[in-house]
Structure 1
């Protein structure tokens, strides 16, 4: 247990940052799973409704990843890698 004031403050700040970071990371993971589920639905039946769902989810994912990068949850290169992988899967699904 911390003894001085600054150590107690650091514990409090670390807990706050942990919760904030967990929100962004879990949201990105959840939306990624939803993205792949909708992408598979689009591959099975190529309807405009499925395409709109995929486009909506990828927009939300890009926005959330960018916000997480601005708040130092994700490193810049990690965010770019995540976004490029999603776009690559989307592009490959259009080719097939």
Structure 2
């Protein structure tokens, strides 16, 4: 346990930051999973409505990733890696459907 005032304050600040980072990462994982789910549903059943869902989920995930990098929750290379994963999944889902349809 902390012995002086400043170290107690640092412990409180670290806990506050940990909670904030945890909520950011949780929301990020949720948005990424939602995007991947939308990609698989579009690949199974292509259509304009599902394509819009894919695009909106991708842009929401990109936005959250950029904000997390800006706040320092994620390293910029990690953010770039995750954005690359999402865009590759979207491209893979949309390209074959465009060739067929």
TM-score by length of 2: 0.91
> What is the aligned residue count?
96
SS of the aligned residue for 1:13 comes to: helix
Larger RCO (CA under 8 A, 6+ residues apart): 2
CA distance in structure 1 between the aligned counterparts of 2:74 and 2:66, rounded to whole angstroms? 9
How far did residue 47 of structure 1 move? 0.8
Structure 2 unpaired stretches of 5+ = 97-101
Structure 1 unpaired stretches of 5+ = none
Would you identify which runs of 4 or more consecutive aligned residues in structure 1 move more than 6 Å?
A: none
- Give the RMSD, CA atoms, in angstroms: 0.8
How far did residue 22 of structure 1 move? 0.5
| Aligned position for 2:57 | 57
| Aligned position for 1:33 | 33
